[in-house]
Amino acid sequence: MAVQLEFLKGILYFSALDLAELESISKLVFEKTAGRAEMVLLEGEPPENLYFVASGVVKVLKTSAEGKEQILSIVRPGESFNDVPIFDGGPNPVSAQAMGPVLLYGIKKNDMEDILRDHPQIALNVIRVLARRVRHLVSLVEDLSFKHVISRVAKILFEHIGGETGRGPRLTQQEMAAMAGTAREVVGRSLKALEEEGAIKVDRHRIIITDKKALQKIMEVSS
Amino acid sequence: MPIIDTKKCDGCGLCVGVCHLNALAIVNNIITIIETVECDWCADCELVCPTGAISCPFEIILQEP
């Protein structure tokens, strides 16, 4: 199936190009499909391709030696991933996993360098994409480094316990993130950490505080 | 089941693709839930929704010793 020029035009990277230029670039674009939970990129491997999500959703993540996962970003249709190693030549700094069936458009590293040389007007938009990424990551670094998010999340859970007779206010991870002044991705990891500490148990749509004292102890860590 | 704000839903269908239990479907350009399937509250649909139309709120309960 031919790569749709309209789709390429909608990608920020290429929005400054006319149809003839997009036509020449489209010849360098290949398709790649992946199923749910399939890894489409592995951390540490040499960079090969820049990817754009055509349909579906990809999560970009880092995994610790113990297997803990930190989501860095969610990539939706029209957005790119693996930009950084394509331009700096280093190994892939992150892994990427399909969250469902996905269709990706890929461009080989060398082809992308040729595209930049042949169409220098796209450089400004590439810089914009990279700058947004830096801004997002700086914000995530702040959350992960300086904020005792786990203790804040523990406090939020404690303050929103449902009463015996009625239900307490139900909270989404997004709402907890807003209350804790952090990103939703960090809340997900905090809930997992609290579960590992034995303070809570996540049972479908219920968060059960199984050890109130343990939760209170975590709350006491300065935030 | 997840709560869907039909005013915010633009029918993009990203949530349908990520639901591993196939519990979501698009009907008349709006996401709906197929109720015959048990949702396990992974909240991936909420995570990927670009318009904030889906929410998977948690009830917080204290387990008495």
HEC string of chain B equals CCEECCCCCCCCCHHHHHCCCCCEEEECCEEEECCCCCCCCCCHHHHHCCCCCEECCEEEEECCC
Rounded to two decimals, the pTM is: 0.81
- Looking at every residue in chain A, the average pLDDT score rounds to 90
Q: Is A120 in contact with A60 (CB distance < 8 Å)?
A: no
What pLDDT, in 10s, does the model give residues A39-97? 999 999 999 999 999 999 999 998 888 777 888 899 999 999 999 999 999 999 999 99
Among candidates A10, A15, A55, A8, which has minimal Cα distance to A32?
Answer: A55
Contact B48 A99 (CB under 8 A): yes
Read off the pLDDT band of A179 (50, 70, 90): confident
Rounded to whole angstroms, the Cα distance separating A95 from A60 reads 6
Q: What was the pLDDT predicted at B37? A: 66
In percent, the amount of chain A with pLDDT more than 90 equals 68
Structural domains present in chain A: 5-144 (2.60.120.10), 147-219 (1.10.10.10)
Q: Sketch out chain B's domains with CATH numbers.
A: 3-55 (3.30.70.20)
pLDDT of residue B30: 85
Question: Predicted ipTM?
Answer: 0.82
Query: In chain B, which residues have pLDDT < 70?
Result: 36-37, 65
For residue A220, pLDDT beyond 90: no
Is A166's pLDDT higher than 50? no
A104 in helix, strand or coil? strand
| Mean pLDDT, range A170-176, rounded to an integer | 90
pLDDT of A148: 84
- The residue that leads in pLDDT, A66 or A138, is A138
The DSSP secondary-structure symbol of A69 reads E
Beta-carbon contacts below 8 Å between A and B: 89
Contact between chains at A205 and B41 (C-beta distance less than 8 A): yes
Look at A212 and B62 and tell me if their CB atoms are within 8 Å: yes
